[in-house]
Amino acid sequence: MSRLDSFIRRMSAQRDCLNWSAGALNGVDGPVLELGLGNGRTYDHLRSLFPDREIFVFERRVNAHPDCIPDQAHLILGDIFETLTGFAARLPAGAALAHADIGSGDTELNRQMAVRLPELLAPMMTPGGLVFSDQPLSHDGWRPEPLPEGVPADRYFIYRT
């Protein structure tokens, strides 16, 4: 498979999973956490899927399309592993969805992230919420969800909290 094919498949899987989340969160209240703004593509998609929910975006350095930058109240700047720590107090009822697209080509960094992120996120999620990740995560209180039809295994990971 060419790198172009691989890129397209990754983006399609991401979009298919996010689209699926809109229906899968019916009846689950709470804001959305976008971890890693990047170019702002998935943030833009999330706000089209969830126009009535607050979306809080965590990013260390903004480099997004100008139309896809959240207002100051919804942009939490800094390293996620520092900023998430204090943020739980701002969400007493928990978030309905967390989307983490912060994996890198560095296997060791991804491994560390996969250990630390669930510990930080778990207390911030409402029961019945969803965690999406480009890397496999593990937490005792989370159940892996089957991927939407057509999404190849290991392209994306979904957990019900």
Ligand X SMILES: C[S@@+](CC[C@H](N)C(=O)[O-])C[C@H]1O[C@@H](n2cnc3c(N)ncnc32)[C@H](O)[C@@H]1O
Residues 123-142: x where in contact with ligand X by CB under 6 A, - otherwise, as a string: --------------------
CA distances from 45 to 11, 17, 63, 119, 120 (A): 12, 11, 17, 27, 25
29 vs 77 by CB, closer to ligand X: 77
Report the site for ligand X in 87-116 (rule: CB under 6 A).
Answer: 101-102
Q: Does 39 bind ligand X (CB under 6 A)?
A: yes
Q: Which residues contact 136 (CB under 8 A, 6 or more apart)?
A: 114, 154, 157
128 vs 155 by CB, closer to ligand X: 155
**Spatial distance between the Cα atoms of 117 and 1, rounded to a whole number of angstroms:** 31
**Spatial distance between the Cα atoms of 129 and 123, rounded to a whole number of angstroms:** 12
Q: Contact with ligand X (CB under 6 A): which of 79, 106, 119, 154?
A: 79
41 vs 53 by CB, closer to ligand X: 41
Q: Does 42 bind ligand X (CB under 6 A)?
A: yes
Measured at the CA of 94, the angle between CA 45 and CA 85, to 5 degrees, comes to: 95
* Host H or E run for residue 29: none
Q: Which stretch binds ligand X (CB under 6 A): 22-30, 48-56, 57-65, 145-153?
A: 57-65
Q: Does 154 bind ligand X (CB under 6 A)?
A: no
* Host H or E run for residue 86: helix 80-87
Q: Does 38 bind ligand X (CB under 6 A)?
A: yes
Q: Contact with ligand X (CB under 6 A): which of 17, 80, 125, 137?
A: 80
Name 57's bridge partners: 34, 75
Residues that bind ligand X (CB under 6 A): 36-42, 58-61, 79-81, 101-102
